A and B are shown apart, each in its own frame.
Chain A
Amino acid sequence: MIAVVSTLMTLVLAACIVMAAYRVIKGPSQPDRVIALDTIGINIVALIMVLEVKSGSRDYVDAALVIALLAFVGTVALAKYLAGGTVIDRGDH
């Protein structure tokens, strides 16, 4: 049962990543591309966890944690850049 469901899940998540990638390429504005990249990162976290259940090995969770953190930091940095043109606010302007 787990094997069938997790194989189905990998297909569904791959389709989700493809849809988000279409939005990255097409996306009419820059913030569209940023949220699509954020969604790709989050979907990769989910895909790694499904592969963990599918393969029965517990070691993949480190990769999922690192990708979740990097997706969050990247999203916040890109949002700061789009809002003000600077990523790190030094307070001298």
Chain B
Amino acid sequence: MIEVITSLLLLVGAVFTFAGSLGLLRLPDIFCRMHATGKSSTLGVSSIVLASFLYFTFSEGGVNIKELLTIVFVFLGGPVGTHMIARAAYRSQVPLHERTVVDEWKGIEEDIARSEKGP
């Protein structure tokens, strides 16, 4: 029974991780690629680590807290890193894809400079 659950979680993780890496390879600009890897790094890896945690908890007994800590760090670290790189990429003027429809930050640097200067 635990082998079935572990195998299912591993396969779910494989699907998410493979989709994320394929998106990193194939999508057109950096923000789309980041959108793909964000999913793979949180959901995919979390389910793989959870599979290992459940497998050893039920087959050998005893809870290993380090696996839970790995899940926590991956889950917290992935979105934080992705957010910081997205901001850095936009501010260093990485070009958006030519079919981008909405760019809500267009001109935000001038707005910030104007508001710091005062009315």
Contacts and interface: CB of A to CB of B under 8 A. Distances in A.
Interface residues of B, number: 50
Interface of B: 3-4, 6-7, 10-11, 13-14, 17-18, 20-22, 24-25, 30, 33-34, 37, 40-41, 44-45, 48-49, 51-52, 55-56, 60, 64, 66-67, 69-70, 73-74, 77-78, 80-82, 84-85, 87-89, 91-92, 94
Given A20-B21, A46-B44, A58-B56, 15 more contacts: A1-B3, A13-B14, A16-B18, A17-B21, A19-B25, A22-B25, A23-B33, A34-B85, A35-B30, A42-B78, A43-B21, A49-B49, A53-B10, A82-B88, A83-B92
Contacts of B88: 31, 79-80, 82-83
Contacts of B92: 29-31, 82-83
Given A23-B24, A31-B85, A75-B84, A43 B30 contact: no
Contact of A72 (B34, B81, B94): B81
Contacts of B25: 19-20, 22-23
A73 B52 CA distance: 24
Interface of A: 1-2, 5-6, 8-9, 12-13, 15-17, 19-20, 22-23, 29-32, 34-36, 38-39, 42-43, 45-46, 49-50, 52-53, 58, 61-62, 64-65, 68-69, 71-72, 75-76, 78-80, 82-83
